[in-house]
């Protein structure tokens, strides 16, 4: 998430009521998670395992719960609870804005786009030309939709990321300040759910088609001309390259890459990154011919055991 205007490091520290290290006038342009940070961004880190990664990232400012040496050219915000302070920044720079109308006055809708009854379109949503939005679709704030997009009934775009911190008192939610980007000529089936990014964008690429009841997790990037069949669940921060096919009831773990033109057979659990140009099946995922060969060999075990006994 980028701020409406640049701020200084000392201004952000004052806003949070915490100390800082580094140049007080260091520009602060936004805040993002580690995998999408750029120069000028704040990133938070609250676990020793990730200190080095955060300090060496592209982020200009690190919100951290430990006194460490300030890297050259960067700034530090010293916090007792970086997770909570990151949420405080989200509330300050992107507060929830309630709506009392079905289509927010700040939404932009292109020419020849048809909006069916009972559709909700939130604040700062942009919808392109020649789209068709069917009844009971919900489009949360800041979503961007291209041209010639069709969205079927009951689909929800832009719900919060499923991202929680486990504390002794329970699970604390990391507030979402990202968005969803739906590129041109995408078709979304009925009852799909596409979560927005925590601070970046969840993207559905040009010409991709999603069947009914598909879930896409936060910050996932679906490439161009992909096909995703019904009841597939894609976790957060997954990269699905161009022309991938995921058949019904596929599930993935987070943070993986599915290579270009990969085909994943139904009910497969994609537990790791897989190269493109091949077909896959099973849990844990394997190349489909190898997996089917192993299953065929397993069927021969009773006969082999009987022959051995004889």
Q: What is the pLDDT of residues 211-260, one digit of tens each?
A: 999 999 999 999 999 999 999 999 999 999 999 999 999 999 999 999 99
pLDDT of the residue at 291? 77
Structurally, at CATH architecture level, domain 108-287 sits in 3 Solenoid (2.160)
Which positions ≥6 away from 5 have C-beta within 8 Å?
Answer: none
- Looking at the DSSP bridge assignments, the partners of residue 179 are 201
State the distance between the two ends of the chain, measured CA to CA, in whole angstroms.
71
Provide the CB-side half-sphere exposure for 86 (13 A, CA). Answer: 29
> Which helix (H) or strand (E) element contains residue 158?
strand 156-159
Q: Encoding tokens for residue 66?
A: 């430990």
The third-level CATH classification (topology) of the domain covering 2-93 is: 3.40.1390
- Over 80: is that where the pLDDT of 303 sits? no
Q: In percent, how much of the chain has pLDDT > 70?
A: 100
Higher pLDDT, 290 or 199: 199
Residue 80 CA to residue 82 CA, distance in Å, equals 6
> Which helix (H) or strand (E) element contains residue 281?
strand 279-281
How many CB atoms neighbour CB 153 within 10 A? 16
Quickly state the pLDDT bin for 307 (edges 50, 70, 90). confident
pTM, 2 dp: 0.92
Is there a catalytic annotation at residue 218? Answer: yes
| 36 secondary structure, DSSP code | G
Going from N- to C-terminal start, the domains of the chain cover 2-93, 108-287
DSSP 38-70: -TTEEEEE-SGGGHHHHHTSS-SEEEESS--PP
Give CA torsion, residues 87, 215, 118, 201, to 10 deg.
40
pLDDT of the residue at 208? 98
Catalytic residue among 7, 152, 215, 218: 218
Helix axes 82-93, 9-16, angle to 10 degrees: 100
pLDDT digits (tens, 9 = 90+) for 80-134: 999 999 999 999 999 999 999 999 999 999 999 999 999 999 999 999 999 999 9
Quickly state the pLDDT bin for 310 (edges 50, 70, 90). low
pLDDT digits (tens, 9 = 90+) for 148-204: 999 999 999 999 999 999 999 999 999 999 999 999 999 999 999 999 999 999 999
SS3 60: coil
Residue 258 CA to residue 307 CA, distance in Å, equals 43
Quickly state the pLDDT bin for 305 (edges 50, 70, 90). confident
Using only C-alpha atoms, what is the Rg of the chain? 23
pLDDT of the residue at 88? 98
| 161 secondary structure, DSSP code | P
| Degrees, nearest 5: CA angle 13-19-23 | 70
* Average pLDDT of the chain to the nearest whole number: 95
Q: Encoding tokens for residue 241?
A: 């390259």
- Looking at the DSSP bridge assignments, the partners of residue 42 are 31, 61
Residue 78 CA to residue 85 CA, distance in Å, equals 10
pLDDT digits (tens, 9 = 90+) for 257-280: 999 999 999 999 999 999 999 999
Which positions ≥6 away from 144 have C-beta within 8 Å?
Answer: 125, 126, 179, 180, 181, 182
Which own/partner contact pairs does 283-288 have at CB distance under 8 Å and 24+ positions apart?
none
């Amino acid at each position: 998430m980028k701020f409406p205007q640049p701020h200084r490091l000392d201004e952000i520290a004052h806003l949070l009521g915490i100390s800082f290290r580094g140049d007080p006038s260091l520009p602060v342009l936004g805040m993002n998670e580690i995998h999408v940070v750029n120069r000028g961004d704040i990133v938070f880190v609250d676990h020793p395992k990730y200190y080095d990664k955060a300090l060496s990232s592209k982020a200009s400012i690190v919100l951290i719960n430990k006194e460490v040496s300030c890297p050259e050219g960067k700034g530090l915000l010293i916090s007792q609870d970086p997770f909570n302070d990151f949420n405080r920044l989200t509330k300050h720079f992107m507060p929830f804005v309630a709506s009392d109308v079905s289509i927010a006055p700040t939404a932009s809708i292109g020419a020849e786009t048809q909006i069916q009854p009972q559709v909700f379109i939130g604040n700062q949503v942009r919808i392109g030309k020649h789209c068709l939005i069917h009844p009971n679709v919900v489009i949360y704030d800041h979503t961007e939709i291209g041209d010639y997009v069709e969205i079927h009934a009951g689909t929800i775009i832009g719900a919060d990321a499923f991202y929680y911190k486990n504390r002794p008192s329970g699970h604390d939610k990391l507030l979402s300040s990202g968005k969803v980007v739906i590129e041109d000529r995408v078709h979304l089936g009925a009852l799909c759910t596409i979560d927005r990014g925590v601070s970046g964008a969840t993207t559905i690429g040009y010409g991709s088609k999603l069947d009914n009841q598909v879930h896409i997790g936060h910050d996932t990037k679906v490439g161009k001309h992909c096909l995703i069949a019904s009841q597939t669940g894609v976790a957060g921060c997954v990269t699905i390259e161009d022309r991938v096919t995921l058949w019904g009831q596929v599930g993935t773990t987070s943070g993986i890459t599915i290579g270009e033109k990969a085909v994943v057979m139904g009910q497969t659990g994609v537990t790791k990154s897989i190269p493109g140009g091949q077909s896959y099946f099973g849990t844990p995922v394997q190349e489909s011919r190898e997996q089917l060969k192993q299953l065929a060999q397993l069927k021969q075990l009773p006969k082999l055991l009987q022959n051995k006994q004889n």
